[in-house]
A and B are shown apart, each in its own frame.
Chain A
Amino acid sequence: KNQVEQSPQSLIILEGKNCTLQCNYTVSPFSNLRWYKQDTGRGPVSLTIMTFSENTKSNGRYTATLDADTKQSSLHITASQLSDSASYICVVMGKTSYDKVIFGPGTSLSVIP
């Protein structure tokens, strides 16, 4: 069964600290993996997209890594800001039809002063 799991479920960190969110997946065959940020009550916004051959991709203070062999990805946030408080969703895309877009449950991040 195609699945995407994320950990931790929720996380609280102090402003200015770094954190790493994890994503494990079993989707196969694999096309690409995306990380989205979703503010409370808003739609998700794309942070990064990585294909099978990419190991690392950065977008400002966000750095995503991908290990296609172990089917794991991480999202590292550097020097966190209060505005980073949101849900971070890992999305894995299969190579076939539209229903092979599998969303993870998300990690809820709270950055406190």
Chain B
Amino acid sequence: ETGVTQTPRHLVMGMTNKKSLKCEQHLGHNAMYWYKQSAKKPLELMFVYSLEERVENNSVPSRFSPECPNSSHLFLHLHTLQPEDSALYLCASSHGDLRTGELFFGEGSRLTVL
């Protein structure tokens, strides 16, 4: 138990569906992140929120839309995805920036796009 909870753990969706991934952290951290992990590839940073403001958007297609309503919750809204978007989506949180703060990951949401 890392203190970062992701739901759902598994999601299968069609290309025309709209779904959302949810992340909740119970660590009192002030920064939250979405990462994408595709098979045989390094983790890719998607979005960073610090103090509920988006501070990083790593050239992610608009079919991925993040939302951070407060410092404990982070969502990733999915719309009109492609099969190549199938991957493990990892949420993480930290206290402060990553030059000093430890990065705590959730268990991930395994997404399959048909």
Known A-B contacts A43-B107, A105-B41; A98 and B48 likewise in contact (beta carbons under 8 Å): yes
Interface with A: B13-21, B68-76, B97-105, which one?
B97-105
CB of A95 within 8 A of CB of B99, answer yes
Give the tally of cross-chain contacts (CB within 8 A). 57
B42 touches A41 (CB 8 A): no
Most A CB contacts (10 A, CB to CB) among B2, B88, B98, B105 go to B98
B81 at the interface (CB under 8 A from A): no
Closest to B9 in A: A41
Which of A's residues lie within 8 Å of B, judged by CB? 4, 31-32, 34, 41-46, 49, 89, 91, 93, 95, 97-99, 101-106
Residues of B bordering A, CB below 8 Å: 2, 4, 6, 33, 40-45, 48, 55-56, 58, 88, 90, 92, 97-99, 102-108, 110
